[in-house]
Structure 1
């Protein structure tokens, strides 16, 4: 994708996770991070009756408006070394799922991380950004504002 087709986003954006049934979750855009991360708790690896391995977890936490207390289960996952912003290397589970920003739905990797002490439950890293978006750090919620503007225009035209 060339620069002219990349969409502009700000330092923070509202994102959707259609497969996970999470909508309008605030994400921090972090060009310093390679892998994206999502806040979760109760991460457990388990063995099913057929011998296959799964990862189970809950997304967000009860203090978050979109928390739904649902236990998620993924059969496809990896365990990777992820470097934190402090330079510490942590072994984390990584899942592949869909994220929606603007009208684009992108399949990408998310590390499962306890982000309860951090302001934003989702962090968007370079691997998602590099082929899809240009970041303007002086702006925030660019995609949401464009969506609201388009909806307003659509309503006006339907009157």
Structure 2
């Protein structure tokens, strides 16, 4: 399988979240990927339990304020960047990077104190990408082909 070379920061799209070409930090130290989410709430919709939230922070360039709904979600115990275990919601969604579309899991968390609202962990990267930490936006040439 051909691995594409990406940089330490890349622009990705998350169509099911209504996000197009948003900066994401590539973090080979993190296992799972995560997205900043606001106003997370499990609600009942047409007799089903659904996770409702707003992706990104108000003030983020790509923030729309739109609520998104996920029927397929679960809770997962993860270690945060400070090494403390916490329970987060996990969704499976499609992300687009380097001209390709992939299915991947993202945890939803409060990343308001972090510089990047989206983090791509090594579970997503494995067997798909090689990371050149000295560069950013290397996926762009793949997108324009």
TM range (shorter): over 0.9
Segments of structure 1 that go 5 or more residues without pairing to the other structure are 152-159
**What is the alpha-carbon distance in structure 2 between the residues aligned to residue 31 and residue 19 of structure 1?**
24
| Residue of structure 1 equivalent to 2:24 | 27
- Out of 102, 122, 125, the residue aligned to residue 121 of structure 2 is 125
| Residue of structure 1 equivalent to 2:80 | 84
Larger radius of gyration: 1
Secondary structure of 1:111 counterpart:
strand
| Residue of structure 2 equivalent to 1:12 | 9
| Residue of structure 2 equivalent to 1:103 | 99
- Pairwise CA distance, 1:97: 0.4
Bigger helix fraction: 1
When normalised by structure 1's length, the TM-score is 0.86
Question: How many pairs align?
Answer: 145
- Out of 28, 34, 53, the residue aligned to residue 49 of structure 2 is 53
Residues 51-101 of structure 1 show CA distances to partners (whole Å, capped at 9, x for unaligned) of x21111001122011111111111100100011122111100000001100
**What is the alpha-carbon distance in structure 1 between the residues aligned to residue 89 and residue 124 of structure 2?**
17
- Out of 33, 40, 44, the residue aligned to residue 41 of structure 2 is 44
Contact 2:57–2:117 (CA under 8 A) maintained in structure 1: no
When normalised by structure 2's length, the TM-score is 0.94
Residues 103-148 of structure 1 show CA distances to partners (whole Å, capped at 9, x for unaligned) of 110000000011111111100001100021011111111112x157
Segments of structure 2 that go 5 or more residues without pairing to the other structure are none
Secondary structure of 1:127 counterpart:
helix
| Residue of structure 1 equivalent to 2:112 | 116
